[in-house]
Copies of this chain bind each other. A is one copy, B any other.
Amino acid sequence: MDAPFTFTPTPASIPPPDVVYRLKQPPNTPVNTHPLNPLDFVLRAAQIYPDKVALIHPNVEHPVYYTFAIWAQRIQNLAYALVRAGIKPGDRVAVIAPNSADAHHGVIAARAILTPINTRLKPSEVAYILDHSGANLILVDFEYAHLVPRDVKVPVIISKDTGRSGDPYEAFLAEGRRFSQERSWGGLDAEPNENAGATLCYTSGTTGRPKGVLSTLRGSYLAAIANAFEGQINRDSTYLWILPMFHAAGWTYPWSNTFAFASQITLRTVNYTHIWQHFLNSGVTHYCGAPTVQIGIINDPQARKLPQPIAAIIAGAAPTAYLISELEKLGFKPVHVYGLTETYGPFTRSYDQPNWDNLSLTERARLMARQGQAFATAQEVRVIIPPADDEQNPVLRDVPRDGKTVGEIVTRGNIVMKEYFRDPEATRKAFHGGNFRSGDLAVMHPDGTVAVMDRSKDIIISGGENASSLAIEQELASHPHVLEVSVVARSHPKWGERPMAFVILHPQHATKWADRHHDFIKDMKEHAKARLPGFACPEWVEIVPELPKTSTGKILKTELRRIVAKL
């Protein structure tokens, strides 16, 4: 990108010449193994490409950017500042901020566990997480300072997000720098255990209390490399942070990008004007986002043909044919991945096949909507018949590969969390059967691809048949006038349950139906009837201006069910 602003690094972030990017090794470090740790990536990037742009944070009052050498120095400062503030190995450092790129590296350099907290949570939820995680220090962005309970007993460092002196966070870093001046990286102890905690991310918790997902350094290292490889991210890449870094630790992308020597652009909010400015002017090549965000992108008035191809990595829900087609028209390359916080983000991907080129968009979209197969460095993915909860050491049986029999997706291996923090009972349940139980219901197709049918609680039991709300949504979304749709069960005197659809009309077509909602609903039902078995056709369709969503963009079906219950 053309340098969009001037760059004057603070003295505290200018590294001395001849930095040795090597932490202090514990005694008796073996010659022929080293513990996997994603911190290695930024050290290597600073060593090999010191002057390459690492991090750009442009849409703020005082735009900043950091080269890998400067950024690594800031990361070192942060690690020393944390150690100086009393942080010990295994302690949790909470971050409440729109982005936490420094902390992703600096906290693990201090051998502590990064605990990123969703900025969109309520104060009571933040308080719960701070308490449950036993956070030993809090880094908080000025805009979210009110989320920190007043009676909190641990140090709280506020960032004004300026990168300049006068900012308390910068003062904190400068203290670290004073402390480290003569020791450099060699004054920090390398973590000898690759299974030590790396991040502690709380699930969004649509029901019940959020659970703390503890990841390891080994898992983070391997998942980050997988994301870099699967995304074909390299040193010519520029990654735009649309996905918030507090969401499942940014799916390990903060490290994938440093592994690949890519530049990262951070934003304070999902602002489509800024996003399109960067797509068109900053050489962006990669970003991640849920379909909701992708829809916002294609519908933005600034949307136009991209000057360079951009990989749009989609997760959280399957992309619809409409979304795929609109993204491709603009020059995006959609990639559908699937995962959970418990799996470091993606652990499957819908791998496009050579023969897809010969398919119609609808057929291709149907295949791309599948969750696909195991990601690089992930271990096997299975769809199993869920054993009884009380069965001891059950042997898991796979469903037949018929694309019909519904079972539960399970996986295991390095890309599975260490545990639910301080919740051995939930961990035991999640690991029942020697695999991580995703709780997602799916079928296995003959080609070994997995297709999620639903969360178990979202299945609609209509006339004794199991109807997948996701499958219904997928078909309804193929109606060209539908922007977004969500389907839940509504009780029915005859059938037990029947599907009810909540639809947002596409803005381009909304006026057409403005006074004829009834006609649209009729049209919608015919569309469904042509594509779905009778028991899966929505009995009710409601046009709505908005859908209730979690702070991470997931549709809140619990909320829709509440509405339905009152009808």
Contacts and interface: CB of A to CB of B under 8 A. Distances in A.
Interface of A: 17-18, 20-22, 25, 29-34, 36, 40, 44, 47-50, 52, 195, 216, 218-219, 225, 228-229, 232, 234, 259-260, 351, 353-354, 373-374, 376-377, 379-380, 398, 401, 412-414, 416-419, 431, 434-436, 446-448
Given A18-B401, A47-B374, A32 B412 contact: yes
Contacts of A18: 401, 446
Contacts of A195: 33
Contacts of A29: 412, 434
Contacts of A374: 44, 47-48
Given A374-B47, A376-B259, A446 B31 contact: no
Contact of A434 (B21, B31, B48, B418): B31
A49 B354 CA distance: 9
Given A25-B434, A49-B353, A225-B229, 16 more contacts: A18-B401, A21-B380, A22-B380, A31-B412, A31-B434, A32-B219, A32-B416, A33-B195, A34-B412, A34-B414, A44-B374, A47-B448, A48-B351, A50-B447, A229-B260, A232-B234
User: How often does this chain occur in the complex, in copies?
Assistant: 2
Contacts of A219: 32-33
Contacts of A33: 195, 218-219, 413-414
Contacts of A417: 32
Nearest to A372: B48
Q: Which 6 A-B pairs have the closest CB atoms?
A: A34-B413, A32-B416, A31-B431, A34-B379, A31-B412, A48-B373
B416 A31 contact: yes
Contacts of A36: 414
Contacts of A413: 32-34
Contacts of A50: 447
A436 B30 CA distance: 10
Given A17-B446, A351-B49, A446-B17, A436 B229 contact: no
A104 to B, nearest CB: 19
A31 B436 contact: yes
B373 A47 contact: yes
Contacts of A373: 44, 47-48
Contacts of A25: 434
Nearest to A377: B225
A191 to B, nearest CB: 14
Contacts of A40: 379
A232 B231 CA distance: 12
Given A229-B225, A229-B229, A376-B259, A418 B47 contact: no
A398 B186 CA distance: 13
A22 B381 CA distance: 10
A436 B401 CA distance: 49
A414 B32 contact: yes
Q: Which of A20, A379, A412: most chain B Cβ within 10 A?
A: A379
A418 B30 CA distance: 10
A448 B18 CA distance: 8
Nearest to A17: B446
A430 to B, nearest CB: 8
Contact of A20 (B22, B52, B228, B398): B398
Nearest to A194: B33
Nearest to A402: B18
A448 B20 CA distance: 9
Contacts of A260: 229
A386 to B, nearest CB: 16
A434 B34 CA distance: 12
Contacts of A414: 32-34, 36
A19 B401 CA distance: 10
Contacts of A380: 21-22
Contacts of A229: 225, 228-229, 260
Nearest to A44: B374
Nearest to A43: B380
24 contacts: A18-B446, A22-B380, A25-B434, A31-B434, A31-B436, A32-B216, A32-B219, A32-B412, A32-B413, A32-B414, A32-B418, A32-B419, A33-B219, A36-B414, A44-B374, A47-B373, A47-B374, A47-B448, A48-B374, A49-B353, A50-B447, A225-B229, A225-B377, A228-B229
A28 to B, nearest CB: 8
Nearest to A18: B401
A31 B234 contact: no
